[in-house]
Chains A and B, each alone.
Chain A
Amino acid sequence: MRPIEFEILLSLAGGARHGYAIILDIEARAGDGATLETGTLYRALQRLAEQGHVTEARTPPGEDDRRRYHAITPAGRAAAAAEARRMAALVDGARAARLLPEAP
């Protein structure tokens, strides 16, 4: 799984969002100065949709109905969890190798 795809799934794990909200969430998580281009986001969304990890959600009442909301599917949640575990194992390995300090 590509980092951008994991980022999107992570963002959607908290609830359905539209594209701009996903960008804001990812940029906020990544920290100051990090940017994500619109084209990159939607190419990744296209891949995730093809893999069945993301699906279109109903636009919440009161929101701009031109916006399309995206939600994570159970398969997407499972894939994101697997990726998170893989990453956690990597972090554990890094700690064991003293590349990172011990967890508090």
Chain B
Amino acid sequence: MPRTIDTDVVVIGGGAAGAHAALKVHAEGLKVLLIVKGFLGRSGCSIFAGNLQLVNTKVSAEEEEKWLTIRTKHMGGYLLEQDYVKRANRFTESEFYPEMERRGLYIRRNAEGKFIKSEGRGTNVWAPLQGYSGTFVMELLRKEILNKRIPLLQETMVTSLLLDEGKVVGVTLLDILRGEFIAVRAKAVIVATGPSNYLATRSTGTREQCANGFAMAYRAGAQMQDIEIQWWHCSDIAWPKAWTRLHIYPNPMPATKETVRLYNSEGEMFFEQGMYPLAMQPYFLQLKHLYPHVKRGKARWNGGYFAGYTHIDPSIMEQYSYQTQFLKALGLDLSKDLIECGISWHMTLGGIRTNTETMETSLPGLYAAGGVGSHGVGTITFVSYDGTLAAGGACARARAMQPPRLPEEQIAREEQRVMSPLKVRSGDGLLPAQVKKRIREIMWEKMGYVKSEAKMEEALGQLAEVREKLVPRIGLDSLSRTWNYDWVDALDVEDMLDICELTIHSAKVRQESRGAFFREDFPYIDNKNWLRHTVMSRDGNALRIETVPVELKYIRPESEREDFLSADY
């Protein structure tokens, strides 16, 4: 048996969901162990939360409905749980903002003390710059966790969930710095590994985000839901490659009614948020407008179209945007130059199937908080709510139970799997990172924004080829166990292949288009047949796919069937 750690609750993931979960379990007086593959508050996607929505749904029913519509329709294609959206909005206004301000968050104000807001509907704010808010939120959460000496393992990869009689009773992990395999016994596990994964050549997922959370849950038998629905960002910078995650926000901007405009290669303007005043987060709409220009050769998915602030007073970007320094470093003059853009694989709307009242998954003892769950969030305040909610459930469970038994046989098998990549590459060997690159290329080329049955079949074929021809060639440069990231990459390859394939199988089932999900062979929104979730689970080595209806409690689409490209959601 490897070394074992005992705790009450394990939290996996160092973003806002994981941080809130760890703080809550600690506040409840139980033992928590926070495990982060990268670094708390530094890796993951919470650091990218660029805008904060200053919701105030308590003031009126209209305000509540406005936010319900923005989230459910414009960000969720009607697949979200509507009561959850209402509760998360309430958490945002009554807990998130006061707690973060108490910790020292500074939402940018003017000299008179008024918030700098987006004009018009006036609900976006920034702490203290557009593009930096999440970084600041995470800094404060990180410091509080460190200051409270909450047990924390960083640069530590959770490799599997441990099961005893169908219940989750702990995790196994790999300490990347020391190369040690460890087993953790826990009464409950909260997985909070985020909505974004680095699964396509152009992605917003950070380096470490390789679908590990999805993979461990799926392998343990948890149900997955709607994982075919992938948000793409429409306006991320095209080059340099390192800056792929530099987002040009389409949302309302600070202190102006104007929003960023998109232009095709001939300089023709084709999108600005003002075209859809009700869609405050017009991510899906941007892509629909880009599509015909790509078709006509006036843009490419990875360049050849542009974002511009030329119609906006340059002092706005200068004063209120973190992104401006990057654009200036490229020598761009925002009063006259445009910024070349590309699309990037951003968030999975679905994920591990969650009960939105408790964040429980289909596996007893496993909770999913934040973007890794199936409830389609993508907002730092919502994932903070999830973390708090999941911790409540996990604590109640932990209090009611005795320390579980660890499954020694499963631990031994997993140790063998984790150690198996430790072999030196041969002459024609490949580093695992090279295989990761190939997987991302396949997903970029065949599983991009525009999907079709034929392209998805090709993607499955190419991924199978990776398994057959490239994976056996994987080897490491050295067998040293000290910070051997190639070893981590090798474990990532398995998770990426499994989850990419699962995503494609799920996408083949959904024979319609909706929100972020576009099938060129089914270019309509089918509200009659497809207001449904796809639900997938492992059945031995086979895949079981079912669909279940979406509950539409307060708002619902008007038509049974709509043309996808012209619909406003």
> Do these two chains interact?
no
Q: What residues of chain A have their CB less than 8 Å away from a CB belonging to chain B? A: none
Q: What residues of chain B have their CB less than 8 Å away from a CB belonging to chain A? A: none
